Amino acid sequence: MSTIADSTSGPASKAAPPKLRKSLHAGQGRTAALLVLPTLVLLGIVIVFPLIKAVIMSFQKDSGLDPATGQFVSGGSAGLDNYKHWLLQQCGDIKCPPGTLGAQFYDALWVTLFFTVTTVVIEVVLGIWFAMIMNRTFKGRGLVRAAILIPWAIPTAVTAKLWLFILAFEGIANHLLGLVGISPLLWTGDAWPSRFAIIIADVWKTTPFMALLILAGLQIIGADVYEAAKIDGASKWQTFTRITIPMIKVPLMVAVLFRTLDVLRIYDLPAILTNGGGGSGHATTTLSILVINQIRQGFNSASALSTIVFLIIAFTAFLFIKFGGADVVQRPPRGPSGKKKKRRKSQGDALDGDSNIEGSVIGSIGTGR
């Protein structure tokens, strides 16, 4: 009997763990590549080819009159002259005079960054507020979630015209300001009112987008986490800063990334609302508006400016993904050696992991870390 017991309780009696499949069945990889190939070809045609073409054109001269000879030239190699025109503000051998497009580059860059920082910060604050309201259980919650999509669903051109009527000199905005004793403002004429007019219109339109992305992150957080925090004596502020914000960091940073990249290339809203003017005449001129204005004078120089804008946007996206936690692609966990883990996670391990996360969060609240 002891021999039988020993043989049944030995290592040989333990069931071997299931082996993970190392590769696809024969032919599946080839089929997957064929299915993805048309999409890759289409993306190459509409994205990669125009990008390469713009970079090549940026090193070519624009056709026009040669200021030295007065004769028409058809172009040719320009070297880095187009980039010097924008970055160093050189118009030929002299500095670009005020009023020219080359002299407006850094002003347009500052305006674009100002719009980006201001609108994104306001949208994050309002988006978190709206998302937390929509995440509660109350009567008519579905109607509220549907209604908040209306500003986001309206086309930007229509939004610009709508706010143009509201911010007119005799419009609703100045009428409301008159009720509290404030003089009417030239919302589309003065420098700072025109900038804040664009910010108000952009925040009104795109805050619902931010709120919906944050709401998706809030719905992942289980109610038991908040209940455990309440039992542990956490205040509402501690619950918000040490549970809600850390747990929605990834969707929040993805939303911030999308909105940042969107505002960096903003064109239609300031172009329709103020025509890029205000103040001295270009108080709301963004980089995209400057590119369009340069296209009317020369494609090659505009290609150089669009390449600069592309590099700014790509560098911003790299910073968000690398250092900001905006991981738009879910990657498998890695082991201590840096290799991907191959062990299949059981249901018990998953529950233990969730309890450890909850315990660490509540522990940080209890210790005041």
**Strand positions, DSSP E, the chain:** 64-65, 72-73, 90-91, 94-95
**Is a pLDDT exceeding 60 seen at residue 317?**
yes
Question: Is residue 131 a contact partner of residue 214, using CB atoms and an 8 Å limit?
Answer: yes
One-letter amino acid of 199 = I
What are the pLDDT digits (tens) for 256-269?
A: 999 999 999 999 99
Question: Higher model confidence: residue 311 or residue 279?
Answer: 311
Question: Is residue 195 a contact partner of residue 114, using CB atoms and an 8 Å limit?
Answer: yes
Q: What is the pLDDT of residue 356?
A: 45
Alpha carbon 122 to its chain's center: 14
What are the pLDDT digits (tens) for 344-357?
A: 444 444 434 444 44
Q: What is the pLDDT of residue 145?
A: 87
Cβ burial of 172 (10 Å; 0-12, 13-18, 19+) is exposed
Q: What is the pLDDT of residue 16?
A: 59
| Number of residues that this document lists for the chain | 369
What are the pLDDT digits (tens) for 226-257?
A: 888 888 888 889 888 888 998 888 889 989 99
Task: DSSP letter for 344, please.
Answer: P
Token code pair at residue 326: 């905006």
| Span 94-99, average pLDDT | 84
Q: What is the pLDDT of residue 137?
A: 83
Q: What is the pLDDT of residue 306?
A: 93
DSSP-assigned states of every residue in 221-264? S-HHHHHHHHHTT--HHHHIIIIIHHHTHHHHHHHHHHHHHHHH
- Domains of the chain as residue ranges with CATH: 105-327 (1.10.3720.10)
**Is a pLDDT exceeding 50 seen at residue 362?**
no
- Helix (H) / strand (E) containing 214: helix 191-218
Q: Which residue has the tokens 């150089």?
A: 304
What are the pLDDT digits (tens) for 285-307?
A: 999 999 999 998 888 999 999 99
| Span 309-338, average pLDDT | 73
Query: How sure is the predictor about 69, in pLDDT bands with cuts at 50, 70 and 90?
Result: low
Query: How sure is the predictor about 158, in pLDDT bands with cuts at 50, 70 and 90?
Result: very high
Helix 287-295 / helix 299-323 crossing angle, nearest 10 deg: 160
Q: What is the pLDDT of residue 330?
A: 55
Q: What is the pLDDT of residue 118?
A: 95
CA distance 116 to 293: 21
Question: If you average pLDDT over every residue of the chain, what do you get?
Answer: 81
| Span 106-123, average pLDDT | 94
| Span 158-175, average pLDDT | 91
What are the pLDDT digits (tens) for 179-229?
A: 998 888 889 888 899 999 999 999 999 999 999 999 988 988 888 888 888
**Is a pLDDT exceeding 50 seen at residue 26?**
yes
Tell me how many helices (H) and strands (E) the chain has: 18, 4
| Span 64-89, average pLDDT | 78
SS3 72: strand
**Is a pLDDT exceeding 60 seen at residue 365?**
no
Q: Which of 102, 101, 62 is nearest to 85 (CA)?
A: 102
